[in-house]
Amino acid sequence: MTEAVTCDFLQRVIKGRYPKDAAPAALRRLLEMLRQIGATPAAKAARPSPSERLTCAYERFLFKERALSQETVTGHRCFVRKFLSEKFGSGPPNLSKLRPLDVTAFVQRHAHQHGPAQARNLVGAMRSFLRYLHYRGLVHRDLSLVVPKVACWSFSVGPKHLAPAQVRQVLHHCDRSTAVGRRDYAILLLLARLGLRAGEVVRLNLEDIDWENARITVCGKGGKWAQLPLPADVARAIARYLRHDRPRCASRRVFLRNKAPIDGFKSGRAISSIVKAALAKAGVVSARKGAHLLRHSLAMDMLRRGASFDEIGEVLRHKCSKSTSIYAKVDLQSLRTLTLPWPGGVR
């Protein structure tokens, strides 16, 4: 069994439309195990291409010099690889041939294929990579200056959220008769009651929960830590999952995958997928289906109950007040007190 055999198998799986989500990872682990016991020859070290060496050097720079997260670096890498592949193909990247038109054409070709947030990630990745090339002296001009902007008007769209009744409906329809369902229910409660971000749920460790004082420590954006009160219903749901449903493993993460390898979630996308599935099961229709939907819903519920923007920003741990001010757009009752009478009167 070699890489060629596994690639042939995966191609047949794709053509046959069989379930294939975990197949590549499972085959990699199988190959590694067979090589450890000597049942199959060791893999020949493939020599990385010049484009791959350049990409790896850029990744190391992002990790060591910029201290970016794994998820951010992975996103940058995807866009950079696509850019180098389209411009230079499989050959060595001749960076001296890079022109401003190459950069703008790449962004224009691909920006419309993504939503506003992902399009901004594309633009940010291109600017970062081109600055790196100039910093390393690989190009003579700073081509990051020609990367076009993606239109994004502040507060042009209000935050997508659910009504309190819809949040209760989502929680009510979560199947708590299974181990996975009880895990998902605890995750949904954390999102709905505390407004945690998806990545914060992923990074939550067992030692971050202070059971005696009913507090939870969260690692937020930028590696900043914050302590939040742990509501009784959330604590009960987490405790039940930990006592009866959490698989035994060496990982310190609170929430684990239900498929091998048993470990913590890799990214916040898994948490958003749980929310999306819960919305579908509850029959709740929403324009937004990610984990942030419940965070916005918590903020809007606090606003309806009379909480100030400072209080909402403190609960959501916003770095600046501008992040909280987006909720003013949908606070129509308060906005009516600020309106001026029409100069011509009512007609």
pLDDT tens, the chain, 347 aa long: 666 677 676 666 655 554 445 566 777 778 888 888 887 777 666 678 889 999 999 999 999 998 888 888 989 999 999 999 999 988 889 998 899 999 999 999 998 888 777 889 999 999 999 999 999 999 999 999 999 987 765 555 556 788 899 999 999 999 999 999 999 999 999 999 999 999 999 999 999 999 999 999 998 877 788 899 999 999 999 999 999 999 999 999 999 998 888 899 988 889 999 999 999 999 998 888 889 899 889 988 888 888 887 888 888 887 777 667 666 655 555 556 556 676 765 55
Q: Catalytic annotation on 197?
A: yes
Look at residue 45 and tell me if it is in a domain. Answer: no
Same domain, 226 and 305: yes
Q: Catalytic annotation on 221?
A: yes
Q: Catalytic annotation on 292?
A: yes
Instruction: For residues 310 and 333, give the distance between their C-alpha atoms in angstroms, rounded to a whole number.
Output: 18
Q: Catalytic annotation on 281?
A: no
Look at residue 323 and tell me if it is in a domain. Answer: yes
Same domain, 329 and 201: yes
Same domain, 178 and 301: yes
Same domain, 7 and 74: no
Active-site position among 99, 221, 319, 322: 221
H helix intervals, 65-203: 70-88, 100-111, 116-135, 164-172, 179-194, 198-202
Q: Quote the domain boundaries for residue 27.
A: 3-36
Active-site position among 127, 182, 197, 289: 197
Map tokens 């499972």 to a residue. 26
Q: Are 144 and 127 in contact (CB under 8 A)?
A: yes
Same domain, 111 and 23: no
Look at residue 44 and tell me if it is in a domain. Answer: no
Q: Catalytic annotation on 161?
A: no
- Counted domains in the chain: 3
User: CB count, 10 Å around CB of 132?
Assistant: 21
Same domain, 289 and 197: yes
Q: Catalytic annotation on 203?
A: no
